[in-house]
Structure 1
Amino acid sequence: MNKTIGFIGSGNMGSAMIGGITSSNLVSPENIIVADLNEKQLDKVKEIYGVNITTDNLKIAKKCDIIVLSIKPHIYPMVIEQIKNDIKEEAIIVVIAAGKDIEDTQAAFGRKVKVVKVMPNTPAMVGEGMSAISPSKEVTKEELEEIISIFESFGKAEVVSRNLMDAVTAVSGSSPAYVYMFIEALADGAVLEGMPRNMAYKFAAQAVLGSAKMVLETGLHPGELKDNVCSPGGTTIEAVATLEEKGFRHAVLAAMEKCADKSREMSK
Structure 2
Amino acid sequence: MKKLGFIGMGNMASAILLGAVRSGFLKGEETVAYDLNGFKLDSMNKACGMARAASTEEVIADSEIVLLAVKPKAVENILAEQRERLKGKTLLSIAAGWQYSRLRRLLDTSTHICAIMPNTPALVGEGMTIIEATNDLSQKELIFTRRLFGSLGQVEELSSEMMAVGGTLSGCAPAWIFMVIEALADGAVYYGLPRDIAYKLASQTVLGSGKMVRDTKTHPGKLKDDVCSPGGITIRGVKALEAGGLRIAMMNAMEAAFKKPD
With the length of structure 1 as denominator, give the TM-score of the two structures.
0.90
Q: Quote the residue 1:28 is aligned against.
A: 27
Instruction: Could you list the structure 1 runs, at least 4 aligned residues long, displaced by more than 6 angstroms after superposition.
Output: none
Q: Alpha-carbon deviation of 1:82?
A: 2.8
Greater shift in the superposed pair: 226-235 or 128-137:
128-137
- Checking the alignment, whether the CA contact within 8 Å between 1:106 and 1:112 is kept in structure 2 is no
Deviation string 1:220-266 (CA, Å, 9 cap, x unpaired) is 2211111111001000011111212222111111211222213xx69
Q: Quote the residue 2:213 is aligned against.
A: 215
Aligned length: 262
Q: Alpha-carbon deviation of 1:156?
A: 1.0
- Checking the alignment, whether the CA contact within 8 Å between 1:135 and 1:144 is kept in structure 2 is no
- Checking the alignment, whether the CA contact within 8 Å between 2:6 and 2:67 is kept in structure 1 is yes
C-alpha distance in structure 1 between counterparts of 2:254 and 2:190, whole Å: 29
C-alpha distance in structure 1 between counterparts of 2:152 and 2:42, whole Å: 22
Percent identity (aligned): 39
Deviation string 1:142-193 (CA, Å, 9 cap, x unpaired) is 3222211111111111111111112212321100011011111111211222
- Checking the alignment, whether the CA contact within 8 Å between 1:130 and 1:172 is kept in structure 2 is yes
Deviation string 1:30-73 (CA, Å, 9 cap, x unpaired) is 33111112221111111111121112111112222211111111
C-alpha distance in structure 2 between counterparts of 1:142 and 1:232, whole Å: 55
Q: Quote the residue 1:180 is aligned against.
A: 178
2:178 counterpart SS class = helix
- Checking the alignment, whether the CA contact within 8 Å between 2:114 and 2:135 is kept in structure 1 is no
List gaps (5 residues or longer) in structure 1: none
Deviation string 1:91-121 (CA, Å, 9 cap, x unpaired) is 2211112111212212222546321111111
2:193 counterpart SS class = coil
Q: Quote the residue 1:38 is aligned against.
A: 37
With the length of structure 2 as denominator, give the TM-score of the two structures.
0.92
C-alpha distance in structure 2 between counterparts of 1:143 and 1:176, whole Å: 28
Equivalent AA in structure 2 for residue 205 of structure 1: S
Q: 2:119 aligns with which of 104, 111, 121?
A: 121
Equivalent AA in structure 1 for residue 42 of structure 2: D
Q: Pairwise mapping of residues 225-244 of structure 1 onto structure 2 (< 5 A)?
A: 225-244=223-242
Q: Quote the residue 2:58 is aligned against.
A: 59
1:220 counterpart SS class = coil
Equivalent AA in structure 2 for residue 153 of structure 1: S
Q: 2:248 aligns with which of 241, 244, 250?
A: 250
- Checking the alignment, whether the CA contact within 8 Å between 2:87 and 2:108 is kept in structure 1 is no
C-alpha distance in structure 2 between counterparts of 1:133 and 1:107, whole Å: 19
Matched, 1:71 2:70: yes
C-alpha distance in structure 2 between counterparts of 1:259 and 1:54, whole Å: 35
Equivalent AA in structure 2 for residue 28 of structure 1: K
